[in-house]
Amino acid sequence: MVNAGSGSSKSSKKYDLIEDEEFKIKNDAGYSISLYTSKARYVALILSSLQMLLVSGIVFGWPALETELIQQNTFRYLCGEDEVVPCPKQSSRLNLVYTIGAFTATGSAFLTGALYDRYGPKKTNFLAFILLVLGFVLWFISYLYESNLYIVSFAFIGTGGPACQVSLLHISNLFPKTSSAISSSFSGMFVGSSIIFKIFQIIANKYDIKISYIFLVYMGLLLPLFIPTWLLLKNQPFLPFSDFKNKQCVFGNQETESNTNNNNNNNDESIPDENNSSNNNDGSIIGSDDIEDVGEVILSPVKDQPLSTQIFSKEFFSLCYFMSINSLHCVYYMGVVNGMFSNNQKYVDIFNYTWSGGLILVPFVGYIMVKTKLYMNCFLVNFSSIVFGILSSIEIDRVQLGAFFFASLLNVSLWGFYFIYLFHIFGNNNYGKLMGLSSIVTALIGLLEYLFVYLNNSVGASYSVINIALTCFKVPAFILVYFIAKSSKKDYILYSNLN
């Protein structure tokens, strides 16, 4: 009886240690492992998808908004009495509004990424909402008092929308089997959100309502969407399942449990079975086979390395070049589409719907990203970008329809690849900082768009010449494909030897 009591005491201490360790891990992560199989993750996915669709990339619906601003004679005072609206100076000032919005939409990730790393997704998402509210209110004030405030307003909107996306990207980690597809769908939501300004334009024209008032109503409609998201988000991001396992969380592994029992008193049979779901009411201890990580394994030489090592790596430099040149071309094309088809508004409308309709391409792009290697994803993105560049250089309206399609395809696949590349190559430790640094580089290069538009409007430079030049600069971007393929081959050999 004494021995039995002693064994029971040992087993209780042992199980208490297991529970204590699990409690510690829950506190460190901010959530239980059960979230990877719970229904709550689907609610989080739906709410985050809606947020991204409604606000994340709305600044890129600029063509529809620009048309409305011209109709309400914004910056009309910059034109001479005999000049036809829009005059070059008016177009340049309007383009400045868009350029600043596009710059902040990309470059603000430098700030929001750092905030995400330091304060977590919940506070970052709350900040995104505050910035959007400031932007919407300033837009209304701009309409009433001072047109130049549109520049500041669009900067706030351009910062708040992508900040929302930054705070929610980690939701895809709750779905290990389809995380790549979900990441690409988030990019599609970013693209699809550009349709919002087109909807604003339709409502404004049909009901004779100023867009400034629509902004205020829209601001109120967003609040019921953000509040539930704040309740679901944690102070720490949801980690990829493989990273969560690496934190030595308690799993119901039969072999490990058997070895542990052999080293304890035989009376330890009274210890609850950790594999038995009936003894695991909260679902916090889950068998490792319950969640399977599928997809490409890349043992990158810079993954989870110090930030300085990652920043000064060829992987990071080549990524910055790849993103900068491809993003610049998209931003430039959107900035000049109204000018290219100034005599044919039908094509501007087709472009707006095609650009926003990139959301339809999400299942296709997601399937490709899941089924192909990372280097092949990179190749396909750059290849479609070059096709877009070639088509955009041909000044035939019907040919531009093809350019519309490939521009939309590029915008979805480019950012989907970007998020996946950051995680696979650099890991999760400095994810926000690296996203911010690469985004600010991309945004700074994107400011060249204003120079190009100035050359079009004031100097008379051809759209084709600039499109051809940008397309030529995309060819060296294939170096990133080489780096990924070379690294993947070495890592495949190493991974095969380890197994």
- In this predicted structure, which of 175-184, 448-457, 462-471 has the lowest mean pLDDT? 175-184
* Mean pLDDT of the 298-308 span: 82
pLDDT at residue 296, rounded to an integer: 54
pLDDT at residue 276, rounded to an integer: 44
Name the residue with tokens 């790393």. Answer: 117
User: What percentage of the chain exceeds 90 in pLDDT?
Assistant: 29
* Mean pLDDT of the 221-232 span: 90
* Mean pLDDT of the 74-103 span: 87
User: What percentage of the chain exceeds 70 in pLDDT?
Assistant: 80
pLDDT at residue 31, rounded to an integer: 65
* Mean pLDDT of the 205-222 span: 90
Encoded tokens for 296 = 């490409």
373 phi and psi angles, rounded to 5 deg? -70, 160
Question: Cβ–Cβ contacts within 10 Å for residue 436, how many?
Answer: 23
Q: Which residues of 229-257 are buried (b: 16+ CB within 10 A; e: fewer)?
A: beeebeeebbbbbebbeeeebbbbeeeee
pLDDT at 17 over 60: no
pLDDT in tens, 129-142: 999 999 999 999 99
pLDDT at residue 29, rounded to an integer: 54
pLDDT category of residue 477 using cuts at 50, 70 and 90: very high
pLDDT category of residue 164 using cuts at 50, 70 and 90: very high
* Mean pLDDT of the 391-406 span: 93
pLDDT category of residue 247 using cuts at 50, 70 and 90: low
Q: Which residues of 47-57 are buried (b: 16+ CB within 10 A; e: fewer)?
A: bbbebbbbbbb
CATH topology of domain 38-240+295-498: Growth Hormone; Chain: A; (1.20.1250)
pLDDT at 159 over 90: yes
- In this predicted structure, which of 276-285, 444-453, 461-470, 484-493 has the lowest mean pLDDT? 276-285
pLDDT category of residue 122 using cuts at 50, 70 and 90: very high
pLDDT at residue 320, rounded to an integer: 95
Give Cα separations from 430 to 19, 90, 137, 433 (angstroms). Answer: 30, 42, 34, 5
